[in-house]
Amino acid sequence: MPHPDGLPELFLDRSLGRIKVPQLLRDAGLNLVTLAEHYGVPTDESVADEEWLQLAGEQGWAVFMKDTRIRHNPAERAAVRDHHVRCFCLSSQSISGEDMAARFLDNLEAIVAACADEGPFIYVVHANRIEQRPLKD
């Protein structure tokens, strides 16, 4: 399957790992860059979330991540808002790489539809649906 029309290039946070999840998503035809690929190893481990969120917003990338707490951190929430970042966070923190990739792929149609909105937003990706969460002030 080719990268879907209407889906921006994807940026994967370090929380999804460097190898397995990116490879599974690429094998499904998605175009993406990981934090490690963009910043290099080991620099990727020290890049502040606010920095890569700004980058993702400036590039127009949609972000896949595992950390839903981002909307509770004032600096990270401000980066999402200020740079119009489109975020998709997994609802479960303790699932395998295969299951992480499957959740994104199983909800790809809904993710593409959500990306019609320029953002900013945060969606939680569940096993069989996505759910928008407010960007709390």
Measured distance CA(36)–CA(32) in Å, rounded: 12
Which pLDDT value is given to residue 67?
74
Q: Is the pLDDT of residue 137 over 70?
A: no
Predicted TM-score (pTM) of this structure? 0.94
Mean pLDDT to the nearest integer, 65-88: 89
For the chain, how far is it from start to end, CA to CA, in angstroms? 39
Paired with 32 in beta bridges are 10
Is a pLDDT exceeding 80 seen at residue 68? no
| 91 close to 85: Cβ distance less than 8 angstroms | no
Model pLDDT, residue 118? 92
Is residue 110 within 8 Å of 79, Cβ to Cβ?
no
Cα(117)–Cα(42) distance, integer angstroms = 34
What is the per-residue pLDDT for 72?
Answer: 79
What is the per-residue pLDDT for 59? 97
Distance CA 61, CA 8 (A): 6
**Average pLDDT of span 67-85:** 87
As a whole number, mean pLDDT of residues 1-21 equals 94
Separation of CA 35 from chain center:
11
Query: How far, in Å, CA of 79 to CA of 85, rounded?
Result: 8
- The C-alpha angle with vertex 134 and arms to 132 and 119, in degrees rounded to 5, equals 70
pLDDT digits (tens, 9 = 90+) for 108-136: 999 999 999 999 999 999 999 999 998 87
Average pLDDT over every residue of 36-61: 94
Mean pLDDT of 23-49: 95
Instruction: Tell me what pLDDT residue 1 has.
Output: 76
